[in-house]
Amino acid sequence: MEKPKTIRWGIIGCGDVCEVKSAPAMQKIPGSSLVAVMRRNAEKAADYAQRHDVPKWYNDAQQLIDDPEVNAIYIATPPSSHAQYTAMAAAAGKPVYVEKPMARTFAECQQMIEVCQRHAVPLHVAYYRRSLPQFLQVKQWVEEGAIGDVRMVQIELFQSAQPAIVRGLDNNWRVDPEIAGGGFFYDLASHQLDYLDYLLGPITQANGFSDNQAGWYKAEDIVSANFRFESGVIGTGSWCFTVHESAVKEEARIIGEKGQITFHYFTSNKVKLESDGRVEEMDFDMPKHIQQPLIEKIVSDLQGSGASPSTGESAARTNWVIDQICK
């Protein structure tokens, strides 16, 4: 496939994630432009296009995909439609950038990978923490041996019934398994587990318990997991989305033979290294458009001048781990 000089994006599903996090960056990155958006609600599609200075809008996905000016597709819909829209874009020979989690199940991820391979189009996934500065700092500390050999990983995420880091419960597709695959665990832990894949390599064994204790929605609201990396590092995780405010907590630790690294995925941009008497804390500013660093790498990848750290293959591994934990 000939590498284009300019990536001209078309977006399927210009909802909340496209307001600040992702789509505006596509208009600011050199060699990238946003030329069309689609939403089934024509009025909302037109409104988005007008507010964000996007030349074209559609209320039909196939029409956007067939637009000759569009040469890359960003799928920003809920997970239940990711596989379908990926297949449509791949059949048109257009590279795909899809929101996370990549799909509802590992099987759907495999379908997406296969259809993109069959049509020889790239597939990228919006696990943008692989490109954010505080997570790159944690990776640097690990790779330079600041805590020696890594022994284990611990994740804790305890939130109340109306988590500050996600939308509320009313009409929220994130807690509808038919749309999201699961609940807040699928939405949030996917970020955590994907980054650990980037940091420490693939997880090859995983199991756990998941349940719906409070009964406030159909999806799981509590999960406990154990997992093992190919390298031999052991990981544990605990997630609960119905705790009292006094128990709210969000923290991750990488524990090594010489020390530990503490960081947060959602609630703070601070990272802390403790190792053989050395204590180092750093606080990072986030980009206004939080996906911009990753999208920059995807644009370079599509142009043939760089490489994206988040692909269909890497993202599918995260869905596999989630399937193992929640099955």
Q: Give the span between the Cα atoms of 211 and 148, in whole angstroms.
A: 36
User: End-to-end CA distance of the chain, in Å?
Assistant: 39
Contact residues for 170 (Cβ-Cβ < 8 A; gap 6+): none
pLDDT of residue 171 exceeding 90: no
Compute CA 37 distance to the chain's CA centroid, rounded to the nearest angstrom: 21
Q: Are strands 222-229 and 259-263 parallel, antiparallel or unpaired?
A: unpaired
In sequence order, the β-bridge partners of residue 281 are 272
Query: What's the one-letter identity of residue 233?
Result: V
Q: Give the span between the Cα atoms of 302 and 15, in whole angstroms.
A: 24
Q: What is the mean pLDDT of the chain?
A: 96
User: What's residue 169's pLDDT?
Assistant: 65
User: What's residue 166's pLDDT?
Assistant: 56
Q: By the 8 A CB rule, do 236 and 228 touch?
A: no
Backbone angles phi, psi at 254, to 5 degrees: -110, 115
Give residue for tokens 């809920």: 78
Q: Write the class of the CATH domain 7-128.
A: alpha beta
CATH 3.40.50.720 segments of the chain: 7-128
pLDDT digits (tens, 9 = 90+) for 134-152: 999 999 999 999 999 999 9
Q: Write the class of the CATH domain 133-285.
A: alpha beta
Of 163-167, 183-187, 211-215, 253-257, the least confident: 163-167
CATH 3.30.360.10 segments of the chain: 133-285
pLDDT of residue 254 exceeding 60: yes
